[in-house]
């Protein structure tokens, strides 16, 4: 099986490179930066040519515009990357009877207050351009009739790129006090765990006749404040005081989901996936990061 991974230099793309090293399948990693096979996913003809030349059977789309605040003013490029590109990838896979694995986000929720984990069937209520375009991307993929797995995730972090974990470690080492919001609740997700789940679904060929939307994050629940406190504890940082604060103390152009814990029952039952607890995965990631 020939598998194309887009957005290969991002957090999830980098982790996909690691988990796929011993696969009998053939993985091709693309991005728009040097060091990877180049592919512009906003151009349908380019995707079709890449699929044809490499005999692609499956695309894992890790590419997206992910800067939530900047999406409000970035213009058409956000819609192109988050909605149009997934549709084009789906069209290309539909034409060869292939599979599209598309990564989405908890930001498809947000304008309504929830107090129980969000299910896949829950109506999308995005509050900003990022969430709106990601939800539109899901809808456009589904409309093509392609075999697809849309996997919504949340609070992604890893050893790579820019993320909350790496930002906190940097700030804790240079400041004596930090304020972190305690009124946004969700679950941190280690990109390595998500990559492993995607890899196992593909490797075991469990996806047949299971097209649909799925939720994946690590197990457990916390606030960003709790997340930061655990990071400090694992890093043995006792010099930086971390204090809780309200979201409105950090004005933002986008209203973020106050509660976006994802219900993972469907993905666990459908594919037999075991999902690690968030603190356990954080320790694994930080051990790798701090001992590089």
Which residues participate in catalysis according to the annotation?
130
CB 157 within 8 A of CB 190: yes
- Residue ranges of alpha helices (H) inside the chain are 11-19, 44-54, 76-79, 85-95, 129-143, 164-174, 191-203, 224-234, 265-271, 278-290
φ/ψ of residue 32, rounded to 5: -100, 0
- DSSP states along 199-233: HHHHHTTTTTT--EEEE---BS-EEHHHHHHHHHH
Residue 33, classified by CB atoms within 10 Å of its CB into exposed (0-12), middle (13-18) or buried (19+), is exposed
φ/ψ of residue 147, rounded to 5: -75, 125
């Amino acid at each position: 099986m020939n598998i194309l991974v887009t957005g290969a230099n991002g957090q999830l793309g980098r982790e996909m490179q690691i988990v796929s090293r011993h696969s009998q399948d053939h993985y091709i990693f693309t991005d728009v930066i040097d060091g990877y096979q180049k592919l512009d996913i906003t151009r349908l003809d380019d995707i079709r040519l890449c699929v044809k030349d490499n005999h692609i059977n499956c695309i894992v789309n890790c590419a997206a515009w992910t800067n939530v605040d900047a999406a409000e003013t970035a213009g058409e490029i956000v819609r192109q990357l988050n909605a149009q590109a997934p549709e084009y990838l789906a069209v290309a896979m539909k034409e060869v009877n292939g599979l599209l694995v598309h990564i989405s986000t908890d930001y498809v929720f947000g304008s309504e207050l929830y107090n129980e984990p969000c299910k896949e069937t829950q109506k999308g209520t995005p509050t900003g351009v990022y969430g709106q375009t990601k939800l539109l991307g899901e809808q456009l993929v589904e409309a093509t009739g392609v075999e697809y797995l849309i996997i919504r995730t949340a609070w992604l972090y890893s050893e790579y790129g820019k993320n909350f974990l790496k930002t906190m470690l940097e700030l804790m080492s240079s400041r004596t006090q930090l304020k972190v919001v305690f009124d946004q609740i969700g679950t941190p997700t280690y990109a390595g765990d998500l990559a492993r789940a995607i890899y196992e679904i593909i490797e075991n060929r469990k996806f047949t006749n299971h097209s649909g939307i799925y939720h994946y994050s690590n197990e457990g629940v916390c606030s960003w404040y709790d997340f930061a406190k655990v990071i400090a504890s694992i890093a043995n940082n006792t010099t930086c005081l971390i204090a809780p604060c309200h979201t409105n103390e950090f004005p933002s152009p986008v209203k973020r989901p106050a509660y976006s814990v994802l219900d993972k029952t469907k993905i666990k039952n459908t594919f037999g996936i075991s999902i690690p607890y968030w603190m356990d995965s954080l320790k694994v990631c930080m051990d790798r990061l701090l001992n590089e």
